[in-house]
Amino acid sequence: MRPMITTSELAEQLSGPESARSVVLDVRWRLAGPPGADSYREAHLPGAVYVDLDTALAGEPGEGGRHPLPEPETLQRHLRAAGVRAGHPVVVYDDSDGSVAARAWWLLRWAGHAEVAVLDGGFAAWAEEERPLTDEIPSPAEGDIVVEPGGMPVLDAADAATLARDGLLFDARARPRYAGETEPIDPRAGHIPGAVNAPFSGHVGEDGRWRDASELAERFEGLGVAPETPVGVYCGSGVTASSVVLALEVAGHPEPAALYAGSWSHWSRDPERPLATGDLPG
């Protein structure tokens, strides 16, 4: 299954036989502002089930960071409640820049479920095209997905430090946070020494849709990615970094990038871990 699906492709699928329709997950979430669940109750794609980032797609915040990986049993329970079935396609969407949808995409892939795609343009693109919306809350049949971690590579802090020197480690945060000019959330400002800044905002155009494969490939080539390059990614808490993993796959990179799930929220907790500041990797 391709990692991205267009609004027209999904609309055609949802108008077909029920057995052929993807399970659709609404994963809207905001760091500040109205909760995604409130927006879901107001309007969502027909048949879409809401899945919360904080309770389903991440573990409890703490020593592992602000959005550590969820326990497999917890993720499995939420996915089954949403109707996710083994071998059956899933489509995920959000209403911002695609990064939360990318986190859901990544988690499903990590869990061993390959049949998952992100809706290009998300809720905004669907609504702008005046496609069907509803406030009806579905009651899906219980799914049977078995979460088997290991489908996508992950990094711990030591792995990230090594990859920053021996491969290519991307920091997906905005430049001011990477440079250490500001840090509104985490304990210390700066970046992992050797990491290259690759802001996740560069993956989407002004219209909110993802850039095409050739544009993304050109972007990553300019950042030093070659076919044989081992790549890892981190961000503030492991959410927006997932969009870099997705963008690299769309761009045609042959191997999935590894995710440092704890990201800067984990790295910066330990005062013994080094940091760099400024625009250069350090």
**Predicted model pTM:** 0.96
pLDDT at residue 33, as a whole number: 78
Place 163 in a pLDDT band, splitting at 50, 70 and 90. very high
In this model, does residue 47 exceed pLDDT 90? yes
Place 20 in a pLDDT band, splitting at 50, 70 and 90. confident
- Which among 236, 1, 231 has a CA at the least distance from the CA of 100? 236
Mean pLDDT confidence for 4-19: 93
**Over the range 189-209, which residues count as b (16 or more CB within 10 Å of their CB) and which as e?**
bbbbbbbbbbbbebbbeeebb
CATH topology of domain 4-129: Oxidized Rhodanese; domain 1 (3.40.250)
- Residues whose CB falls within 8 Å of the CB of residue 178, separated by 6 or more in sequence, listed in order: 171, 191, 195, 197, 199, 279
In this model, does residue 19 exceed pLDDT 90? no
The 3-state DSSP class for residue 137 equals coil
- Which among 197, 64, 63, 79 has a CA at the least distance from the CA of 148? 79
The total of other beta-carbon atoms located within 10 Å of residue 71's CB is: 13
Q: What is the pLDDT of residues 241-264, one digit of tens each?
A: 999 999 999 999 999 999 999 999
Strand partners, 231: 168
Range name among 18-22, 172-176, 189-193 with the lowest pLDDT average: 18-22
Q: Give catalytic status of residue 235 as yes or no.
A: yes
Q: What is the pLDDT of residues 127-137, one digit of tens each?
A: 999 999 999 99
Q: What is the pLDDT of residues 236-247, one digit of tens each?
A: 999 999 999 999
Say if CB 200 and CB 222 are below 8 A apart: no
Give the integer Cα–Cα distance in Å for 44 and 42: 7
In this model, does residue 199 exceed pLDDT 90? yes
* CATH architecture, range 154-268: 3-Layer(aba) Sandwich (3.40)
Taken in order 12, 114, 64, 171, the sign of the CA dihedral is negative
Give the integer Cα–Cα distance in Å for 5 and 129: 15
Taken in order 112, 116, 121, 126, the sign of the CA dihedral is negative
Q: What is the pLDDT of residues 55-89, one digit of tens each?
A: 999 999 999 999 999 999 999 999 999 999 999 99
Domain segments of the chain as ranges? 4-129, 154-268
Give the integer Cα–Cα distance in Å for 111 and 72: 8
Give the integer Cα–Cα distance in Å for 245 and 8: 24
Q: Which two tokens stand for residue 77?
A: 């329970």
Count each helix (H run) and each strand (E run) in the chain, helices first: 10, 10
Q: Which of 5, 57, 91, 235 is catalytic?
A: 235
Give the integer Cα–Cα distance in Å for 235 and 173: 5
The 3-state DSSP class for residue 61 equals coil
